[in-house]
Amino acid sequence: MTTSTPKSTAASATARPASLRGTQINLEHITKDFGLAQPAVDDVTLTIKPGEFMTLLGPSGSGKTTTLNLIAGFETLTSGAITLNNNDVSRLPPHKRNLGMLFQNYALFPHMTVAQNVAYPLRERKVPKAELARRVSDVLELVQLTGRDDNYPAQLSGGQQQRVALARAIVFNPQALLLDEPLGALDRNLRGALQLEIRRIHREVGATFVFVTHDQEEAMNLSDRIALFNDGHIEQVGTPEQLYAEPETLFAAKFLGDSTVFELGDQDVGRSVRWEDRAWGVAEGTVAARAGVLAGSTALLVRPESLSVVRAASDAPAGSNTVSARVRDVEYMGSYRTLLLNVGNSGVAGRARIEATGESFAIGDEVVAWWHPHAQRVVAV
């Protein structure tokens, strides 16, 4: 992986068989202003490719859910345009957009059986009876829920209910499937199982999926690409690998995974940077490409798995960047340990992942942390 603009490499990273069903969704400078201090969605532009699994990730209040509601038509645009396969749907009411949607609380109709729920969109489209029955049973098979046709939603578990909702949302071959934190209400094990399920169904159906979550792990597991939202705008778009390995901003780095953060202030980032009394080499391609990074305030990040810990500076390999640290705590995680460090004179919080079977460190040990210059990342703050 080398530096590049995230958008250009994403295409090759998401190589998948061309699908006839996939719909390209274009968000063109969309803005939604509820009249608060700040627009909920502020001039967001995003292209979602046909058949792509795109996740809108971000903390609560970042605008990701509003963006999804704008695509679905539940909110009206303040400005901008939304197109599906180049048809402008900005002014269409939700029921004419032909988009399936999955909700966090399932939103199954409690007065209808499983079969009636799944048949609902087909009934509204006046699909003939025989075809309707066939499609309902096909899709229930797809979500592995055959034989529960006559149950009412209240008789099903949360996971089963969400499967019914999923079946109902895809049975009418919508242009795309919108998923609004659909796994948020489920317990951890079930969530994992349903993630697999959703991926499988995405592969089999080949439709465009737009998935909203605040759970970075979920986003990493599922997505072809992630659009990271912050304060109503998109912070960064890219594959999970890109977002993790090549964050453009401190926000992106902190939101996806842990890292040790060295604030660099607004010094010039050249071949080397200074931090406290240290000078560290900067490898080519480890500086975020985002415009203005080199001009503004920056920070240097090291992921826990890239940070190694030794007893003395002489144990660190030549050419590595080093800093003194003190072990604050040790977390035993089974296959590995996490050392929580106080780094440098100022005692910045640091994290290093080390082999569980390797040398053990005790709380209070004075150590040296080191990493390869190409394993670090300089980002905008």
Partner 1 sequence: MSTALDSAEVELAPEVAARPRRRRARKRGIDRVPVWQRVFVTIVALYFILPALIVIPMSFSESSTFQFPPKGFTLNLYERFFTISNSPSTNWLGSLGNSFLVALLAAALATILGTAAALALDRLTGRAPRLLRTLMMLPLVAPSIVVAVDVYVTFLRWHLVGTVQGYVLAHAAIALPFVIVSVTAALGSFDRGLLRASASLGASSWRSFITVTAPLISRGIVTGAVFAFVTSFDEVVIALFIRSPQVQTLPVQMYNAVTSEIDPTISAASSIIVVVVTIVFLAPQLLGAKKRRR
Instruction: Give the binding site for partner 1 (CB under 8 A).
Output: 72-74, 93-95, 98-101, 103, 105, 107-111, 120-121, 124-125, 152, 154-155, 165, 168-169, 172, 178
Cβ-based nearer residue to partner 1, 172 or 275? 172
Phi, psi of 208 (to 5 degrees): -75, 130
Distance CA 258, CA 301 (A): 9
Minimal distance, residue 27 CB to partner 1, in Å:
18
Cβ-based nearer residue to partner 1, 5 or 155? 155
Cβ-based nearer residue to partner 1, 74 or 336? 74
Minimal distance, residue 121 CB to partner 1, in Å:
4
Distance CA 53, CA 201 (A): 11
Minimal distance, residue 125 CB to partner 1, in Å:
6
Per DSSP, what are the bridge partners of residue 81? 28
**Cβ atoms of 89 and 73 closer than 8 Å:** yes
Strand positions, DSSP E, the chain: 25-32, 41-48, 53-57, 79-84, 87-88, 100-102, 176-180, 208-213, 225-230, 233-238, 260-265, 272-275, 278-281, 298-302, 308-310, 321-332, 336-343, 348-355, 366-371, 376-380
Cβ-based nearer residue to partner 1, 99 or 136? 99
Distance CA 230, CA 62 (A): 5
- Closest by CA to 259, choosing from 305, 222, 293, is 305
Cβ-based nearer residue to partner 1, 46 or 167? 167
Minimal distance, residue 163 CB to partner 1, in Å:
15
Minimal distance, residue 376 CB to partner 1, in Å:
45
Cβ-based nearer residue to partner 1, 29 or 95? 95
Q: Is residue 342 helix, strand or coil?
A: strand
Cβ-based nearer residue to partner 1, 38 or 155? 155
Cβ-based nearer residue to partner 1, 185 or 294? 185
Minimal distance, residue 42 CB to partner 1, in Å:
24
Distance CA 97, CA 197 (A): 25
Minimal distance, residue 74 CB to partner 1, in Å:
6
**Cβ atoms of 242 and 9 closer than 8 Å:** yes
Q: Is residue 314 helix, strand or coil?
A: helix
Cβ-based nearer residue to partner 1, 152 or 361? 152
Minimal distance, residue 219 CB to partner 1, in Å:
22
Minimal distance, residue 99 CB to partner 1, in Å:
6
DSSP conformational letter for 2:
-
Distance CA 329, CA 341 (A): 7
Distance CA 348, CA 250 (A): 15
